[in-house]
């Protein structure tokens, strides 16, 4: 019994060590971005997707001239790099096919469609939530406006 109690408190202490190290990361999420509370609500518009998904979850890699496959997802650049632009990995499929989320390579990449080249996005990180994917799909379904 005693050893179990020790084991339990050792575990609790370990958890404290792990959780207690937020330090200067307070208010930031696992991507080093401001917590969701300070972002606009998730909605199927480009500005909401930019603030909630592209900037905080994608631009760690997809930024500027050296962005993978030329796909910079920075604010002000994401729309022209996505909408009606052929994907590099599967040129027959546009990255975003307005009105057609099921034939948009962006959707395939965030859903981890079995036919994609390379990895599911965001690469090496937790997948987007169902709500986030639904917002991306909704924006494309509605015509992928620059809104």
Of the candidate residues 89, 103, 141, 147, the single one contacting ligand HEC (CB under 6 A): 89
Closest residue to ligand HEC, judged by C-beta, is 118
Token pair in block for residue 15:
């958890």
Cα 2 to Cα 142: distance, rounded to the nearest angstrom? 62
Nearer to ligand HEC, 4 or 97 (CB): 97
Q: Smallest distance from the beta carbon of 138 to ligand HEC, in angstroms?
A: 15
Interface positions, 20-49, toward ligand HEC (CB under 6 A): none
Is 88 a residue that touches ligand HEC (CB under 6 A)? Answer: yes
Q: Smallest distance from the beta carbon of 140 to ligand HEC, in angstroms?
A: 12
Is 123 a residue that touches ligand HEC (CB under 6 A)? Answer: yes
Of the candidate residues 80, 119, 129, 143, the single one contacting ligand HEC (CB under 6 A): 119
Cα 73 to Cα 25: distance, rounded to the nearest angstrom? 24
Token pair in block for residue 99:
């009105």
Cα 128 to Cα 57: distance, rounded to the nearest angstrom? 9
Residue located via tokens 């998730």? 42
96 neighbors 82 (Cβ within 8 angstroms): yes
Interface positions, 67-86, toward ligand HEC (CB under 6 A): 68-69, 71
Is 147 a residue that touches ligand HEC (CB under 6 A)? Answer: no
């Amino acid at each position: 019994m005693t050893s179990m109690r020790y084991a339990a408190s050792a575990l609790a202490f370990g958890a404290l060590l792990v959780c207690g190290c937020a330090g200067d990361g307070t208010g930031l999420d696992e991507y080093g971005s401001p917590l969701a509370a300070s972002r606009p609500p998730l909605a199927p518009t480009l500005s909401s997707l930019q603030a909630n998904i592209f900037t905080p979850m994608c631009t760690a890699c997809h930024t500027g001239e050296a962005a993978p496959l030329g796909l910079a997802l920075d604010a002000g650049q994401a729309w022209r790099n996505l909408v009606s632009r052929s994907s590099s990995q599967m040129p027959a499929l546009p990255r975003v096919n307005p009105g057609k989320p099921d034939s948009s390579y962006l959707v395939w990449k965030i859903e981890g469609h079995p036919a994609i080249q390379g990895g599911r996005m965001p690469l090496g990180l937790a997948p987007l939530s169902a709500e986030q994917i639904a917002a991306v799909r909704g924006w494309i379904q509605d015509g992928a406006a620059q809104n």
